[in-house]
Structure 1
Amino acid sequence: MSGAQFELSVSCHIAAPREIAWKVWTDLKDQWFCPKPWRAEVIEEDLRPGGRSAVRMFGPDGEDTGPMEGIILEVVPGERVVSTDAYASGWIPQTPFMTSIWSFADEGEGTRFIATARHWDAETMKKHEEMGFNPGWNQMAEQFRQLCETSAATA
Structure 2
Amino acid sequence: MIDQNAAKHELSITRLIHASPETVYKVWTERTGEWWAPRPYTTPVVDFELRPGGRAYTMMRSPDGADMPHDGVFLEVVPNRKIVVTDAFKPGWITQDAFMLAIVTFDPEGSGTRYTARVQHWSEEAMKQHEQMGFHEGWGIVAGQLAELAEGRLVSSAA
* Residue aligned with 1:150, SS: coil
Q: Give the unaligned 5+ runs of structure 1.
A: none
Q: What is the number of residues matched between the two proteins?
A: 152
Q: Residue 58 of structure 1: which of 48, 58, 61 is its match?
A: 61
1:41–1:116 CA distance, 2 compared to 1 (3 A)? farther
1:137 aligned partner: 139
**Alpha-carbon distance in structure 1 between the residues aligned to 2:58 and 2:97:** 17
Q: Is the 8 A contact 1:48 1:72 kept in 2?
A: yes
Unaligned runs of 5+ in 2: none
Q: Please, what TM-score do these two structures have when normalized by structure 1?
A: 0.92
Evaluate the alpha carbon distance shift between residue 32 and residue 152 of structure 1 in structure 2; reply closer, same or farther with a 3 A threshold.
closer
| Structure-to-structure mapping, 1:5-154, within 5 angstroms | 5-65=8-68, 67-150=69-152
- 4+ runs deviating over 4 angstroms: none
Q: 1:98·1:119 contact (CA, 8 Å) conserved in 2?
A: yes
Counting aligned pairs with the same residue, the percent is 44
Q: CA deviation at 1:43?
A: 3.4
